[in-house]
Structure 1
C-alpha cells in the first residue's frame, strides 16, 4: 500500500513538471509565429509613415512621371523633322546610347535584384522558393522568349512587306508593258528608273539593269576604311544622280531590300521594347502607390521621372525609326506615358487592403520583375546597343564612337546610382 502511494506521488509530480514544458513550448511557438507574421505583414509600419502626406505625394508623382514620359517620348517623334533631332543624326545616336544605358541598368540593377529579393523573401514557403534560383531562371526564359518573338515578328513583317512590294512591282511592270504596246518608249513621259523592283521576266531590259545597278550599290561595298570611303562616295554619287538627272536611280534606298529588312526590325523592336517597359512600369507604379511612407516616395519621384524620360526617349526613337502612321505612334506613346501613373493610381486605390508582403503579392511581383529584367536586358544589348555600336556608320566615325560610348556608360552609371534611393 505504501509502495502504491509513493508511485502515485511520482506520477503526479512528473505530470505537474511536464505541464510547464508544454506551456513553454507553446508560448515559444506562438511568439515565433507572431514575429513571423509581424515581419511579413507589418514591415511597412515604420517611423516615417504618414498616410495624408503620402497621399499628396502620390499625386505629385503621377504628374511628374506623366510629364517626364510625355516629353521623353515626344522629343524623337516631334523632332524627327528637325535637322538636329533627326533619327539619322549624330546627336540622336548619342542620346539613344545614353537611353540604352539607362534601360540596361534598369534591367540589371533595379528589376533583377528586386525580383530576386521578392522571390527569396522569408515570408514565402521554403519549398520550392528557396530550393531553386527562380529569379535568374525567369529572367533567362523571358530573354529567350523575347528572342523568339523578335525573330518571328521580324520574319512576319518582312514577308508581309515583301508581298506588298511584289504586288507593287507587278503593277509597275504591267504599266510598262502597256506603254510598250502602245508605242510609247519608257522614259519619254514617265520615268522608268523609279521602278527599281521590276521583275526580270517581261519587265524590260531597262528595269533589269536598274535592279542590278541598285543591288550592286547595296551589296558590293568593300571592307575597312575603303568601306567608309565607299559610303561617302556612294552618298555623293546618289545625290549627284538625284539632282543632275530627271531620274534618280533608286539610290535613296527608300525601298531597297536592306531598308525593308531594317524597317521590319524597327517595327518589331519598338513593339517588344514597349512591352518590356510597360510590364515593369506597372510594377513600379503599384509599388509606389501602395507605399504610405513619404521618405520612400520622395526619392522615387525624382528617380522614376528621370527613368521615365530616358526610357521614353529610347522608345520614341524606335517608334520614329519604325515609321508608324501618326495614329499608331500616338497610341503607343500615350500607352507608354500613362502606364506608370495608372499603376500609381491602382496602387493608391488598393493601398488599404493590399499586403505587399503576402505570398501571392511577392510571387507575382518577383516573377514580373525578373521577366521585365530579361526583356529589358535583351532589348538594350541586342536591339539598341549592338544595332548601333556594331553598325558601319559607327565604325566609320571615331568621334561618334567616343561620344556614344561615353553616353552609354554615363546613362548606365547614373541609372545605377539611383538604386541608392529607388
Structure 2
C-alpha cells in the first residue's frame, strides 16, 4: 500500500488523462480510502454471515443437549456450570473467515503485480522480478501459516488454497504479456 501510493499519485496526474482527472489532485488517496472501506465492508459482511451460521449451529447444539438431558437421569450427569465448545467453534469460524479474506486479498494483489511484471517493457524487469520473488515468498509463508491452522477434516481445502495462490501470479503475468503484445502503450490512458 505505502510503496504504491506515491506512484499512483504520480500516475493519476499524468498528461494523457482527460481534463476531469486534473481538477482534483488526490484521486489516488480517494481510491485508496474507497478500497479500505470496501475491504472493511467485505469483512463485516463475512463476519455477519458467520454470526448467523453460529447462531443456527448453537440452536442445534442446544436442542440436542436438551433432548439428551431429557433422556439421561439427573443423578448420572455431572456439570460444572459452563462450556467452552461454542466459544472454540466461534474462534474456529472467525479464523476461517480471516484466512479466506487473506487468501482473496493476496490473490487479487498477486494478479495485479503479475500484470505489472508482464507489461514491463524490460527496463525494470530484473529488479521487479527479484522483488516479486521475495514478496511472494513471504506472502506464501504468511498464508501457509494461516492455512495450516485451519481445522479441516480433509487436506483438500488446503491443497486448493495453496494451488490457487501459486497460480494467481502466473495468470497475472500471462494477462500482462497478452496486453503488452497486443495493445500496450506505456504512455497511454489504458496503461495507467
* Residue pairs, 1:21-40, within 5 angstroms: none
Q: TM-score, normalised by structure 1?
A: 0.41
Which deviations, in whole Å up to 9, do the C-alpha atoms of 1:190-237 show, x marking residues without a partner? Answer: xxxxxxxxxxxxxxxx44x432xx4xxxxxxxxxxxxxxxxxxxxxxx
Aligned residues of 1:263 and 1:321 also touching (Cα < 8 A): no
CA distance in 1, matches of 2:75, 2:186: 76
Aligned partner of 2:76 among 154, 179, 186: 186
Q: Which residue of 1 aligns with 2:133?
A: 305
Question: Counterparts in 2 of 1:376-415, with a 5 A limit?
Answer: none
- Closer, same or farther: CA 300–360 of 1 in aligned 2, 3 Å: closer
2:116 counterpart residue number: 287
Aligned to 2:191: 361
Aligned residue for 1:361, secondary structure, equals coil
* 1:143 matched to 2:36: yes
Query: Structure 1 residue runs of 4+, over 6 Å off?
Result: none
1:330 aligned onto 2:140 = no
Structure index of larger Rg: 1
Give 5+ residue unaligned stretches, structure 2: none
Q: Is the 8 A contact 1:291 1:297 kept in 2?
A: yes
Q: 1:266 aligns with which of 71, 95, 104?
A: 95
Alignment check: 8 A CA contact 2:58 2:86 kept: no
In the TM superposition, what are the counterparts of 1:61-210 in structure 2 within 5 Å?
107-109=1-3, 111-180=4-73, 185-187=75-77, 206-207=78-79, 209-210=80-81
Could you say which structure has the greater relative contact order, defined with CA pairs below 8 angstroms and 6 or more residues apart?
Answer: 1
Q: Is the Cα contact below 8 Å between 2:99 and 2:146 reproduced in 1?
A: yes
TM-align CA RMSD: 2.4
Deviations 1:130-183 (A, max 9, x none): 524111111111111211221221121122023213312322331232233xxx
Matching residue of 2:107:
278
Three-state SS of the structure 2 residue aligned to 1:210 is coil
Q: CA deviation at 1:115?
A: 2.4
Q: Is the 8 A contact 1:120 1:130 kept in 2?
A: no
Measured after TM superposition, the shift of residue 335 of structure 1 is 1.4
Distance change >3 Å, CA 342–CA 178, structure 1 → 2: same
Please show how residues 189-268 of structure 1 align to structure 2 within 5 Å: 206-207=78-79, 209-211=80-82, 214=83, 253=84, 255-257=85-87, 259-268=88-97
The structure with the greater share of residues assigned to helix is 1
- Do 1:355 and 1:361's aligned partners in 2 also have CA atoms closer than 8 Å? yes
TM value normalised by structure 2: 0.84
Structure 1 pair 350–260 and aligned structure 2 pair: CA distance change class (3 A): same
Structure 1 unmatched ranges of 5 or more: 1-106, 188-205, 215-252, 363-422
Measure the CA separation in 1 of the matches of 2:171 and 2:148. Answer: 25
Q: Does the CA contact (< 8 Å) of 1:285 and 1:343 recur in 2?
A: yes
From the superposition, tell whether residues 166 and 321 of structure 1 become closer, same or farther in structure 2 (CA, over 3 Å): farther
Shift in Å at residue 306 of structure 1?
A: 0.7
Q: Say how many residue pairs are matched.
A: 190
| CA–CA distance in structure 2, aligned partners of residues 269 and 356 of structure 1 | 37
Q: Summarize the Cα distance change of 1:159–1:261 in structure 2 as closer, same or farther, 3 Å threshold.
A: same
